[in-house]
Homo-oligomer: A and B are copies of this chain.
């Protein structure tokens, strides 16, 4: 059956593409975010906290995929600005439960608003519908990242 192989073309890889777009976004974001006193990676952390709700620092380290010691520094920054709150977990008093504060939520909203122009520029070739689709795809990709992120019964 010589008609089959055409269908079976290799899937496109978008790794380099994503990296490229992310870089362009980040470059522009830095200057926009600076007046708000935060940097791109702070924004990522705040976003994760908003989308996932309170998390332990280990969870954050796992999700952000960065070293635990660096998460500490990141949270120190955010807590110093009162954007985030660290509470001791009642269940396990070694743990810190990290949660977005009202101030943090508001700042996150303001940051996203401020970034509107940046995204408009980088995604100028995309329609509103396409941007929404992009958002949903990324959201879905990050929400459940596969079986390796959480093992056993922990809700992660």
CB distance from A103 to the nearest CB of B (A): 18
Contact partner of A146 among B23, B125, B137, CB < 8 A? B125
Chain B, residue nearest A12 (CB): B135
Whether the Cβ atoms of A145 and B126 lie closer than 8 Å is no
CB of A141 closer than 8 Å to a CB of B: yes
Contact partner of A121 among B13, B14, B48, B146, CB < 8 A? B146
Tell me the bound Cα distance from A131 to B14 in angstroms: 8
CB of A24 closer than 8 Å to a CB of B: yes
By a beta-carbon cutoff of 8 Å, the part of chain A in contact with chain B is 10-27, 29, 40-41, 43-44, 46-48, 64-65, 112-113, 115-116, 118-119, 121-126, 128, 130-146, 148
Q: Say what secondary structure dominates the interface of chain A.
A: helix
Contact partner of A23 among B14, B21, B65, B143, CB < 8 A? B65
List the B side residues contacting A25 at CB < 8 Å. Answer: 15, 18-19
List the B side residues contacting A21 at CB < 8 Å. Answer: 18, 22, 138, 141-142
